[in-house]
Amino acid sequence: MKEATPVAGKVIPPALNKRAVSNNKGPVQTTSLGMDCTPAYQDKSPPNKKKPPSAPCTSDLADVFEATTAGARKDVNMLLSKFAKVLNERAAADTAQMKELEGILTEAQNLESYLKEKKNHLRQTLALISDKLKG
């Protein structure tokens, strides 16, 4: 492998100087994936020193905490009341649907018994007609 060649104070990786030949596409230039990580491109400035944050008074922290918890408690209570309202509405709707379904079931059972009675009456009538025709 060839060594990296310096150009105007920068180091170019050797992969940029080579050309690979593909069987069906002609010459293709290869690139190095590590190019962005070379030391020549890194920032050489020292990291900025930040001032440490001043410690707030503990009573201020307690007031902030109490205000935050009061706001959170209010939000949670509001969400719980909305959830309870939705559950109550859903329960009322479910109860109404159950009553409606029970009414439909009762009506279907009454219709079934009526049709069975009609069927038996029709059988008896046909038996009478059959006996009269035979007799």
pLDDT at 16: 47
| Span 66-119, pLDDT tens digits | 999 999 999 999 999 999 999 999 999 999 999 999 999 999 999 999 999 999
Q: What's the whole-model pTM score?
A: 0.43
Average confidence score pLDDT of the chain: 78
Question: What is the DSSP-derived secondary structure letter of residue 42?
Answer: S
